[in-house]
Amino acid sequence: MSKQEVIICENLEDNLTYALQKQSYDKLFILTDTHTHQLCLPQLQTLDILNKAEEIMIGASDVYKTLETLASVWQALSEQGATRYSLLINLGGGMVTDLGGFAASTFKRGITYINIPTTLLAMVDASVGGKTGINFNGLKNEIGVFAPAASVLLETSFLRSLDAHNFFSGYAEMLKHGLISTPEHWAELLAFDTEEMNYSILKTMVGRSVQVKENIVRQDPLEHGIRKALNLGHTIGHAFESLALAESRPILHGYAVAWGIICELYLSHIKVGFPQDKMRQTIQFIRQNYGTFIFNCDQYESLYELMKHDKKNTSGIINFTLLKNIGDISLNQTADKETIFETFDFYRECMGM
């Protein structure tokens, strides 16, 4: 898999011009959603290099991360004369970069694309690492390919217009990166003042968080080994997300990951000895900032069935990434049904349900 270039922008116009000049293309397209069309595209429309770019707009939020939306992007590219030598810029959050990357990587067997993530979640996770895809059959990211963007441009000034829910959704992935990297990075994330934000410090932490992911992806681009570390919190988190979607009460991805981290740190504690004090500190931060995903014991079976569809599983055995300590990763861990249900009990008890 080819390496993508990640650029932390000092000047978006200069950085995007540089990224485009490195590519050969006959036509230029920009994929937005209804939010980024209004809030972010105006910042790019003054650039001369984008004068002739064609916009393709889709609906905002994860409910549009579907085969139907994907087909509409293919259709728009086809109708507007895209060729295999065209280039697509994905301007948006994780849904746009996931779906747009998949559309680009499959249209005419693959065209070049550039990601400009506009949410914290997309900056530190979705747009980096080459994973693309859509939801299918009620399951998160069930269909997709590994296909890295040519460039990823991180313009952190977009974060100033981000609402609190979307900020914390991305921050959950940063917290995960802290847990799988160093005690220092984990501690600075727990200590960061999220009420009176210092955007200069946040920009530095975003760079550090992206570096954690880049280092792992470089070692294991196709997720055969250490890249599974990035799935901490996701085995159970994706089940929460899929259940919420099935029950028509969708939740943001990062919130599902945060709640999944609570469960998987508990599994880490009882199975491989993750320190209780660090587990409690992390859970306290999540409780204060993410609220609670409400479910009852009658839904345990549904959650378990959803977990059985996780892409990391082998031969139907549910697979977890767990931690012995911060930065001390245990891959390919398993737990039986009784232990998983015990984990749901722990979650509901510590969240006051």
Residue tagged active-site, from 35, 65, 131, 140: 131
Cα distance between residue 264 and residue 350, in whole Å: 13
Cα distance between residue 277 and residue 281, in whole Å: 6
Residue tagged active-site, from 35, 140, 185, 253: 253
Residue tagged active-site, from 213, 228, 269, 278: 213
Return the bridge partners of 32, or none.
57
Cα distance between residue 241 and residue 253, in whole Å: 7
Is 214 marked active-site?
A: no
Cα distance between residue 249 and residue 246, in whole Å: 8
Is 301 marked active-site?
A: no
Residue tagged active-site, from 37, 176, 227, 228: 227
* 3 state SS of 83: coil
Is 109 marked active-site?
A: yes
Is 142 marked active-site?
A: no
Cα distance between residue 129 and residue 6, in whole Å: 10
Q: CA 302 → CA 158, 308, 349, distances in Å?
A: 38, 10, 19
Residue tagged active-site, from 173, 185, 264, 269: 173
Residue tagged active-site, from 35, 37, 115, 223: 223
Q: What are the backbone dihedrals phi and psi of residue 134, each rounded to the nearest 5 degrees, phi first? A: -135, 165
Return the bridge partners of 89, or none.
30, 114
Is 173 marked active-site?
A: yes
Is 238 marked active-site?
A: yes
Is 218 marked active-site?
A: no
Residue tagged active-site, from 37, 238, 269, 278: 238
Residue tagged active-site, from 15, 90, 231, 319: 231
Is 227 marked active-site?
A: yes
Residue tagged active-site, from 65, 177, 185, 234: 234
Residue tagged active-site, from 51, 52, 68, 109: 109
Active-site residue list: 109, 131, 173, 213, 223, 227, 231, 234, 238, 253
